[in-house]
Amino acid sequence: MTRIGRTGLALGCLLSLAAALPPDLPAQTDPYLQQRLQMVEEQIQRRGVKRPSVVDAMKQVPRHLFMPEGLREEAYSDGPQPIGDGQTISQPYIVALMTELLGLMGDERVLEIGTGSGYQAAVLSRLAKEVYTIEIRAELGRRARRTLEELGYDNIHYRIGDGYAGWSEAAPFDAILVTAAPPEVPRALVEQLKVGGKMVVPVGRYFQDLQVITRTEGGFRTEFAGGVRFVPMIKNKD
Ligand code: SAH
């Protein structure tokens, strides 16, 4: 096993805590554009995220629209933010880092576990052909879907359910991104990867290791990309 990427504790989803390009807000009607560009430069590029397609997606997706009204002023600050139901939208840097680790080229089918606010799904939607996203909390999943559809993202498939089972009807996937932390690598999920496909997943109970698991002809290869902290991936609602 090798260690890759950056070290240090990055905050994902803290406790307590494209095919056709969608028509995001034009610059003149987006009061947060400057803040967003500054966020990308200072929090994301300066910390080493380089892939141009990822940087562009982070500049384009209007993060504030994935947050509850009233909390939008915090949308571009350097941390996770509450989105209701005890859950959080991940820190911008961790969204960019996990997305970069997937190495998407544009023609992939990607599975996301933990739709949450829908923000990560929007970023993936710009970088892959199809996104499949599963959320266990029905209210959050429905709200995320409304937000994404209103913004015009049309290559995302939604499911309310338990991500531990994956999405077998749509498998195998080129990439899987898990945005809640399972105590160990979920077997059913790695089995839904194509050979050559990658899964990025924070594994552990309180603190987690960000693992990058590649399916090979003969099995799986695991690399480590640093320490992170996410909300737990739960088995049943409650
Ligand atoms: N990707 C989200 C942030 C995720 S926070 C975003 O961009 O906003 C983690 C999410 O995982 C929470 O919404 C939580 O409800 C969900 N979750 C936890 N356990 C799950 C499971 N077993 N299956 C699917 N979703 C789960």
Residue whose CA lies nearest to ligand 1 atom number 20: 233
> Ligand 1: which atom is nearest the Cα of residue 88?
5
User: Which stretches of the chain are DSSP H helices?
Assistant: 33-39, 52-60, 92-102, 119-125, 138-150, 187-190
Task: State mean pLDDT over 135-145.
Answer: 97
Task: State mean pLDDT over 77-91.
Answer: 93
Place of tokens 């997943």: 201
Catalytic residues, which ones?
Answer: 90
Q: How is residue 197 written in tokens?
A: 């496909």
State in Å: Cα 134 to ligand 1 middle: 8
Structural domain boundaries in the chain:
8-228
Task: State mean pLDDT over 133-151.
Answer: 98
State in Å: Cα 98 to ligand 1 middle: 15
Ligand 1 binding residues, C-beta < 6 A: 13, 87-90, 113-114, 116-117, 119-120, 134-137, 140, 162-164, 179-180, 231, 233-234
pLDDT of 20 strictly over 80: no
Contact of 116 with 177, CB cutoff 8 Å: no
Dihedral pair phi/psi, residue 59, rounded to 5°: -75, -30
Q: pLDDT tens, 150-191?
A: 999 999 999 999 999 999 999 999 999 999 999 999 999 999
d(CA 151, CA 187): 34
CA angle 191, 155, 35 (to 5 degrees): 105
pTM: 0.91
Q: pLDDT tens, 220-236?
A: 999 999 999 999 999 97
Out of 3.40.50.150, 3.10.20.30, 3.30.70.20, 3.30.930.10, which CATH number does the structure's domain 8-228 have? 3.40.50.150
State in Å: Cα 113 to ligand 1 middle: 6
Contact of 57 with 119, CB cutoff 8 Å: no
State the chain's mean pLDDT as an integer.
91
In DSSP terms, which residues pair with 73 in a beta bridge?
none
